[in-house]
Amino acid sequence: MADTALAAAMSPLGAPGPGRRASCSSAGSKRRSAWIRRSRAGGSWGHVDSLGSAGSASSGRGLGGTARLEVPAVHRRRRGGGKPEHGDSLGRMSPIEYVLQTRALTPDGYRSPSGRQSPDASDGCLLPGSPGPAAEADPDTGLCCRREEAAAGCGRPSWGVVLEDARLQAEGQARRRAYEAAERAAGRDADPEVAARLEAGQDLYPNCHVHIWLRSCKEEVCQPLRGATSGCIPRWIRGTLLRNGPGSLECGRDKFQHLFDGAALLQSFRIADGEVSYQSRFLRSQTWRRNAAARRIVVTEFGTRAAPDPCQTIFKKVAAMFRPGEVMSDNAMISVYPVGDEFFAFTESPVMTRVDPVTLRTLERVNVASTLGIVNHTSHPLVQEDGSVVNLGMSLSATGPQYSLIHFPAPQPGGAPLAAVDAGRLRGGVAARWPLHPGYMHSFGATASHFVLVEQPLSVSVPAMVRGQLSGDPLAASLRWFPEHPTLLHLVSRDTGRRTHTFEADSFFFLHVINCFERPSLAGEDSPAEPGEVVVDICCYKDPAMISCMYIDALQDAQQNPDYARLFRGRPLRFVLPLAAGAQQLAGGRVQPRPLCDLGCETPRIHPRLTSRPYRFFYAISADVDADNPGTLIKVDTWTGSCATWGEAGLYPSEPIFIPRPDGQAEDDGVLLCALVWGDDDRRAGLLVVDAQAMVELGRTEFTAPSQVPKCLHGWFAPGVV
C-alpha cells in the first residue's frame, strides 16, 4: 500500500498541467532554438564544445590552468545574473513574445529602436534589445491580427504571420552565421550542407532520433504484458533479461537537467518456451521516495541541484560529509548485476539496491559505505567465473584517497540473501596520483593475474565537492579535466593486491572497458606461463565533452548543434602493455594504442566465459550520431578489424547481451538479446534476438506500453529466472 501511495504521488511526473510545457519528445513540441537560449543566458555557440577549448561557454578553469568540466552556461545563469532554480526551464517565452519584446522590424532587418545594429550582428549573435515596435496588439495574443482572421479575409495585415516568418528567417540566418564564424575560428571550412540546414531550421542528423533519451514513463507495467512475436524466439533461451536506465526526467513540476539524473526504471523481458512478456517498475530508492513525497526534486543528483532544505543547517551539512551512503543519491539507474544469489541495481554512490528479478519489486537497500568504509564504487563490477564479484571503489587512507578493490565471495548453497554482500572485503588497491583530485572511474578490467585500473585525467575535485556539499551544487560541478596530463594504466596483482606496473598513455576519456587479457610477447621471448603483455581494450574519447552532450538542454538542441556528432565521437582502442621491459620499451615512454575499428562503439559486451581471457569478438551499439543508421548493432572482429552490423531505420536496440548456445563451440555461436525502442512511436517496446554469427535477426516480440518507454542503459541476463 505504501508503494501504491508513493506511485500515486509520482503521477505528476511529466504530465502537462497549467503553466507547464508538454514533453519535448512529442512531435509537436515547441522549443526555442539554441541561439536564442544562448543569447539569453550569456552563453555562446559552443556551450557543449570540448572542455577548455576555444568557443566553449563553460570554460571555467581548474587548478593549474586546466579546463574545468561544468554545467553549460545555459544551466548556470539566468538573464540578469540570477541563478536558475532547481529543475527550472529558464522561464521560456513563446517565439512571438520573444520577437515583440526584443526586436523592432524595419526594412533593413532587425535593429534596436535607435537604429543601431547589435555589435555582434556580424557574427550572428543577435543580442536581446529593447521592446519592439508599438502596435495595436490583441490583449490575449499580442498580435495585430489573428491567423484565423487573416485566413477569413478580414482585410487587415496579419502581423502574426509577418513576425513569425521574420523570426524564423532571422533565427536561421543567425544560426548560419554563428556556425560559419565558429568554423573560421577553428580553422575549418564550413560545410555548405550544414549551413543550409541550419538556416532552414532542418535537423542536422535526420537519421538520429535523439529524443528517445528524453522520454518519461508515466505508468508502470506491473503485470506481465504479452506481445506480438514475429520470426522465431529460440526455445532454448529461458530466463529474464533485466534492464536499467533513466525512466523519468521529471518530478512534479521540476525537471532533471542531466540524463544520468532520471529516476531509475527497471524493465524486464521474461523468455520461456519461445514466448516473451514485458514488465517495468520504478526503483523505490530512498531518493525516489523522498522526491515522491515532496512532489519535487529534493535530492541533488549528478547534474541537478535539489530544492534547498530550509531545515538543513551548516552543521548538518558538514556532518553529512562523513555519511556518504546516507546523503548521496541512491538513485541506482545505471546497471543490474548479480552478487551472490541476488540481483542488485547499481549506481556510483556506495549503495546497492536488491531487486526481485521476477516482479521487479525493490527489496532492500544496502549501504556498503558503512561496512567497507568506501565513499563510492563503480556501477560495473566484474563477475568472475566462480561466481565471485569484484568491484572498484574509493576509500580514504592516511595518505589520501585510494582506489580499493572490493571482493564479494561466490554464493554458498543455503546461504542468506545478503551473505555474499556481508562478506565483502577490501583487497588492496592503488593510491590516487592527486590526493585532492582523485580520478573518475566508471569501470575497470582484469586479466588472469592482474586487475587493470585506468586512471584518466578526469578527476573529482575534493575542494569543489566539499563546497558543493555546503552549497548544494551537483557532482558534475566538481569534475575537472586535465588534458595535459597522461592517462595512467595501473596493474594490480590479484594475489597480493599491490600495484606491480604503471604505464602512461596520452590523455583520453572513457566510460567502458571492453576486456583485458594476458598473452606471450609477440617477440616470443616469454613463455606462456609468464605472460609478456597485457592487452587492454577500451571505448575511448578524446575528452569528456560527451558528458556535457547528455545534459537535457544539449539533447534538446542536438539537431541544431553542428558540433554534437564530433563531440560524441569515440573509437575502441587497444593498448598493449609490455610487462617484461616496462615503459622503457615504449616510444616516448608511453603506450601508443591502435584502433580496433573505425566505428563509434558503446556499451560493449563479449562472450561471458571469455572475460579476462583472450577473445576475438565484441558486440556494441553505434555511438555515431551522424551515422546513416545510428541504431546499428555492431560486431567487431578484433583479429581482423572487420565489422558486421545489423540495423533497421528508426529502431534503437540496447546494449547487446551475448547468450551462448548450449552446445556451441565457436566463440560467436549464440544470440544477442537487445531491448528495443522506436524513434517514431514512444509507447512501443520490444525484445530483439539476433544470430551473433551471421548478424541476422531471428525474431522479435513487440509490446504496446500504456505510456512512454524510455531507452535503457545496461542490464543482465538471469538464466532460468522465469
Which residue positions form the known binding site for Fe cation?
Answer: 380, 442, 512, 714
Q: Quote the cell numbers at residue 654.
A: 540496447
Chain centre distance of CA 102: 36
| E strand or H helix that includes residue 505 | strand 499-505
Q: State the Cα–Cα distance between residues 534 and 565, nearest whole angstrom.
A: 32
DSSP 138-155: -TTTS-SS-HHHHHTT-S
CB 84 within 8 A of CB 90: yes
β-pair type (601-605, 479-481): unpaired
* Rounded (5°) CA angle 710-711-713: 130
How many Cβ atoms sit within 10 Å of the Cβ of residue 592? 12
3-state secondary structure 360-425: CCEEEEEEHHHHHCEEEECCCCEECCCCCEEEEEEEEECCEEEEEEEEECCCCCCCCCCHHHHCCE
Half-sphere exposure of 360 (CA within 13 A, CB side): 23
Binding residues: 380, 442, 512, 714
| E strand or H helix that includes residue 314 | helix 314-320
Nearest to 132 by CA among 173, 93, 163: 163
Helices then strands, each counted (H, E), the chain: 16, 39
Q: Which residue has the cell 551515422?
A: 627
β-pair type (458-460, 239-248): unpaired
